[in-house]
Chain A
Amino acid sequence: MADEEDDIILSALSDDELVLQMHDDLYDGLKDEITEGVNILLERGWTPYDVLTKALVEGMRIVGIDFRDGILFVPEVLLAANAMKAGMFILRPLLAETGAPKQGKMVIGTVKGDIHDIGKNLVGMMMEGAGFDVVDLGINNPVENYLEAIEKEDADILGMSALLTTTMPYMKVVIDEMTAKGIRENYVVLVGGAPLNEEFGKAIGADAYCRDAAVAVETAKEFMEHRKHNQTA
């Protein structure tokens, strides 16, 4: 009986109902259902950008809030991220074709000595969802990787991630090197990772510490607005 009540035919839902259902499905980490929902909306003529922002990014925003408030924990967020990834897999090539609005470019990577990338991947995905071009350097990055990539990619933002107390000081090595080369002010530097906090972000000279992926997106957007404003002023 309970199973029957739980069965929902996604294709029978109206657009608004389906989007809300997709928020629920992301929250519950249901990858197959997200794939199905994305395909249904596309078949109904939605633009890839609208599917991304209204169904996926908004759903992950809710996940992010409940993670921040201690209602969801890492496993649930991981499942949600995995479900979003399945949706992004369909949307990414379509977004490239349709030329969705671009916010800016971010180079992101986990610092040297650290192999943890789940949070960094989630930030990358959410940034992509918010219209940023994201260049992901992966894990265990020495300072040279960051410096080379931000220059080569003509990035606006550098994002650094660390999960370990022992590796997070390396972010300062990167920022100090940027300062020494006289390029620090050319980029917005955002840092994040479980053991970090705002005080640490300030102490190492980052522009901002972002406690989760949703905050990273909002912070990046604010800095980009500020930059555009300064450029036009």
Chain B
Amino acid sequence: MRRGKKQRSGAGSATQPDFAAALEARLMEDGLDAPRVKATPEQVMLIACGALAREIIAVNEANGWDHAVLECLPAKLHNAPQHIAEAVRVKIRDAKARGFDSIFVLYADCGTGGALDAVCAQEGVERIPGPHCYAFFDGVETFETRHEEELGTLYLTDFFAKQFDALIWRGFGLDQAPEMRDILFAHYTRVVYLAQTENPELDAKAEEAAKRLGLSYERRFTGYGDLGTTLAGLAK
């Protein structure tokens, strides 16, 4: 006997009524476009992953920095990194066409295997250093030092804790085939939640995510790490 063909659920469609959740869902699916105005000489265009939008806005607001114009690509590209580099190139060229002389990319390598660096070099634009966003939140140097002893760790950030269901659980089809969990995460032993903010609700979400994956759990507060210092450098 044969079961009916499975239906793909699609990832990330939010039904929560509140604005914050709607914004998160938009950052996941569509990204964020800045108003189509011409650049002024002091402005810098930040091209970022949607998973970093809230953090970038929070750092800039907390410091009263209003020099930046932010555009984000959909955070769901995290699961399709082969598309990131060219998507960033499109954004860079669009920003240049709008008169931005100063452009900065807030993306880690993010699994592009150097393709993003190649695009940045070709376009004459810099990016924040680091292999992953969770690495620069942790501080790239610290992260790389610990890599070997932390083998088998799945890292969550505030965004990933919030979007665990859409990006990881549904993103990897575990809603359709939960038995795949033990294949996908066979060699993982724990979840480490690298927290950007003190938020018990997110802590609980991250812990629940670890439980669903059958992994142990640890929370570490990182704040904004290298993202904060990078944005401070751009503000000078």
Chain A interfacial positions (CB closer than 8 Å to B): 2-3, 6-10, 21, 25, 28-30, 33, 73-76, 78-79, 82, 113, 115-118, 139-140, 163-166, 168, 194-197, 200
- Majority DSSP secondary structure for residues of A touching B: loop
Residues of B within 8 A of A28 (CB): 5-6
- The answer to whether residues A8 and B186 also contact, given A140-B151, A166-B131, A195-B111 and a CB cut-off of 8 A, is no
Size range of the chain B interface in the assembly: 20 to 34
- Majority DSSP secondary structure for residues of B touching A: loop
Complex contact A118–B113 (CB within 8 A): no
Contact of B180 among A10, A25, A30, A82 (CB under 8 A): A82
Chain B interfacial positions (CB closer than 8 Å to A): 1-6, 8, 79, 81-82, 109, 111-115, 131, 144, 147-148, 151-152, 172-174, 176-177, 180, 183-184, 186-188
Complex contact A75–B113 (CB within 8 A): no
Contact of A200 among B114, B172, B177, B183 (CB under 8 A): B114
Residue of A at shortest CB range from B6?
A28
Q: Which of B4, B8, B114, B115 counts the most A-chain CB atoms under 10 A from its CB?
A: B114
Contact of A75 among B147, B172, B186 (CB under 8 A): B172
Complex contact B187–A117 (CB within 8 A): yes
Residues of B within 8 A of A74 (CB): 79, 172-173
Q: How many angstroms between the C-alpha atoms of A189 and B166 in the bound complex?
A: 38
Residues of A within 8 A of B81 (CB): 194-195
Complex contact A118–B131 (CB within 8 A): no
Complex contact B147–A166 (CB within 8 A): yes
